[in-house]
Structure 1
């Protein structure tokens, strides 16, 4: 296992270098000039040229890239062109909000998607199965931003039950300890702030969880149907084992292997792909930070956020391989 982990970590290096190169090139293709964006339309050409020189935007692209690469190797992701704040510090301050959103969405997806997928497989080709497949297909097909707007209108505006933007209300007083607003309020025994933070989480978590739960249920259903046709399941039934034991002890364990892969990859996508959800709900995470940076042509922020997302994606895929090895002895042998 140690050798496998070392090989994977070494293999990450050229991938990260390629990510840096591609993001650096693509960010320069964003229409507009950062200096003009920062100074506004009333700036003179002299002011624009002076700011470009100050930000080193007048240097050749290759020199800018190697300068940025050297900073990354030193642990310096640069400073925001708009605010001047260190990008790494800004991302570190916003990352807990994104992780909180993604983790809760993943937990909800597993809690809903796995049981529903098992139920659909056990009741295959019945009315229950058809209903589950229809709902899951709807969940997979519905754009996240559309679902977010519908939930905001229904639960935030029409019914007035839940807040539609932000992470907390102005009267939230708990100090930041864990990075999770809900946990911080619970640790401070501030129940009003805890409910306030939890209520802000409900709608964005539902939006992120809807697609993942629908995808997970479809994979679990297909995997369960395949597992229930295997010889070991027929043998377990022939021995007279209860159907509950056959399903949950013998079939589900093997059916979870592809589901773990899907969950891990989709969770990694949640970390980096929650940009629209965070923007719609004004959630102060890395996704919204990156969206604002793209709009402002803030190259260091775009590059830094993409690098962090790439690192998180690689670490999650590595964790998926380890979990698969724990679930399947055959894979564990190859990892060793």
Structure 2
């Protein structure tokens, strides 16, 4: 396994009880000047689910599913909530780990879904004397294991529609919107984020009509973000005569808050108001092919490191409202 002596699962993190929510949000947006009213708005989303994000438990579930597949000790560290990356690296160093592979729970290239994770890993390593070397496993948006998992979940979602609507249902793939400027600089030569999502969506759709739309925008209106928004797109489809839609959250690997609120709550309510039949495919989660994929990635030759110029941080100051994007689970 390319000389690794451990596997590190790297995720965003999320609150696990009501009193965690505001400290978690404050931690995510620290130093960005996000207005308290925006934090209170996002906090209400979490409190509507008992103050618990599904993301941490889903990391635990993935780790348990991986244990029979991976002949390495498995560790878990988050960017924004317990267990923090630095704390996990301290444990790894104490356990004698010297070189670990990192599986990041985000499949695509962009600042938010890749570079920011690498920067946080580097900062955590700098805090920990004797921290192990961390090698990020490659992007896996087109890996057969990810595609197989999403294809199975999409077929299952189609089958949950009334039988008379299954053949005509439109697949609507969703991913986290990001500023157009960030999308344009994603990947070594730019434009990778959207291109990679379109590649994955086309593979899952397998010839069926489909669209790629965006969700979870939180930036200021004067800053261009990727469009159309999923809810706006549902309205446009209904106006054009579409009666049934399957939402496929291709941009995410677990059913965290971005999925259960923005899709299962907001988008589902829009579809009901429109009189549209709607189901939502599960994310890859602990699908056996997705789990097996992690072991397959570990067996590959060590991936080349990203160029320093790849997926750069946004150059302009982050607007307060835009910064609140991080208040939920981002692009994982």
TM-score interval, smaller chain: under 0.3
Structure with the bigger percentage of helix? 1
Question: TM-score, normalization: structure 2?
Answer: 0.26
- Highest CA radius of gyration, 1 or 2? 1
Question: TM-score, normalization: structure 1?
Answer: 0.25
